[in-house]
Structure 1
Amino acid sequence: MSINAGTKITGLIGYPVEHSLSPDMHNAAFDHLGLNYCYIAMPVNPGGLPDAVKGIRALNFHGCNVTVPYKQDVIPLLD
């Protein structure tokens, strides 16, 4: 995978996420389709969800999946 100024970032937030297969699956699909996207897993410690959402917005992510334990907690932080 090559990351450059045009790479669109997507990802996953939760805790823990180190075991997730999502980055490998998504990045393989992006590569196969010739898309300049990168999918990263981001562990968000308890209490860090509001700052994580702010960071995702500030970095102009093009999508983000949310997994346990934040599936419901993230709802009030969304547009």
Structure 2
Amino acid sequence: MYAQIIAPNGSQVITSASTLDKEVKAQIKYSGNIAAATVVGKILAERAKKAGVTKVAFDRSGFKYHGRIKALADAAREQGMEL
């Protein structure tokens, strides 16, 4: 699972998180489940805060808002992100 925060004009990626990151891999056993999505959302929000981003528009790319997508969004919200 990958997640990115992109600048409003779309020209650059401000921060990202993925199940392939060492920081995430250390906390998960399997990368394709809700637990992994929660960790990705948490780390993405932490990195966004460090970059000075607190409010984002959530683009789910056509995926239904449930399961892993919902878990990622909920974890980011719990860390203080406004979606």
Larger radius of gyration, structure 1 or 2? 1
TM-score (normalised: structure 2): 0.29
**Between structures 1 and 2, the one with greater strand share:** 1
